[in-house]
Amino acid sequence: MHARAVAASTTALLGTAALLFPVSPARAAGGSPLVIAHRGASAYAPENTLAAVDRAAGLGIRWVENDVQRTRDGELVVLHDDNLRRTTDVEEVYPDRAPWKVKDFTAAEIARLDAGSWFAPAYAGARVPTLEQFVNRVEHHHQKLLLEIKNPELYPGIERQTLKVLGNEGWLDRSHLAGRLIVQSFSADSVRTVHELKPAVKTGFLGTPPVADLPVYAGFADQINPSYGSLSAAYTSSVQAFTGPHGRPLEVLTWTVDDAATAQRVAGYGVDGIITNKPDVVREAVGG
């Protein structure tokens, strides 16, 4: 079946629930790609901290990406690795707790850690934020959030819990759903679960699935988000030829692009957005 026909029937099956809150396209037709600050403006401030959100805001960047995981006592926190070693002082504070997995520490234990000194002395005392703290800081700056559910296989039920926190913090109302929130994951099962739990949420799959598989992805993901090294103009346009669960063309956000030449190349492919540690550099390069 043709891609659009497959996706159209999927949309029809979803019914009105998904269509009550139509999602906006990532960018206006003919416009520059969106620029998304990866883990915040993480070239300039410690990744996934409130300082990195602030830095993105200071640069005038509207979209921020993050990574969500869960503590031993069930708190959602924002951190990329499945362990605390690289981005905190956990080895000093808890020397006997190897391998220092996020899931083995309570929220209170993690809150004690310094998540800034590893990056630069000026950021000493930065903390690993909870998801609640993170979305509230993004909201404070009137920014938008590309939320990644990281390692969902380690955290059963994290999709429902993430949606609960987002709802509690006001991120599932009409305006956020329409254009201020995307939930993505490398796990297709996790993305599908988010879509099934809350069809109005815009979703993205991280990866480069074969074009032949895209009709399936178009049933539950609004975006296909590949690494830039795996991307081509042909793949980008193949993805965008499909219609996603909200009745719009599938979008492509690519990562992690930190130099002007690569940014201009992928912009030439027609991507909808570029995820970058250096959002100022990419914005300058693509005219966003």
Residues with catalytic roles: 38, 80
271: Cβ–Cβ under 8 A, 6 or more apart, which residues?
33, 231, 236, 252, 253, 254
Residue 231 as a binder of ligand G3P (CB under 6 A): the answer is no
| Residue 258 sits in the site that holds ligand G3P (CB under 6 A) | no
Does 275 participate in binding ligand G3P (rule CB under 6 A)?
Answer: yes
Is the CB of 67 or the CB of 280 nearer to ligand G3P? 67
One-letter identity of residue 45:
A
Q: Return phi, psi of residue 152, to 5°.
A: -60, -20
Pick from 190, 288, 166, 272: nearest CA to 224? 272
**Closest Cα to residue 113, out of 135, 137, 132, 94?**
94
Note whether 148 binds ligand G3P by CB under 6 A: yes
Name residue, tokens 């993305």. Answer: 191
**Residues in contact with ligand G3P, shown as a per-residue x/- string from 149 to 178 under the rule CB under 6 A:** ------------------------------
Q: Are 186 and 166 in contact (CB under 8 A)?
A: no
> Is residue 148 involved in binding Ca ion (CB under 5 A)?
yes
Distance in Å, CB of 239 to ligand G3P, minimum? 16
Task: Using CB under 6 A, pick the residue from 46, 65, 176, 262 that binds ligand G3P.
Answer: 65
Identify the CA nearest to 51 among candidates 116, 113, 4. Answer: 116
Residues near Ca ion (CB under 5 A): 67, 148
Interacting residues toward ligand G3P by CB under 6 A: 38, 65, 67, 80, 148, 206, 255-256, 275
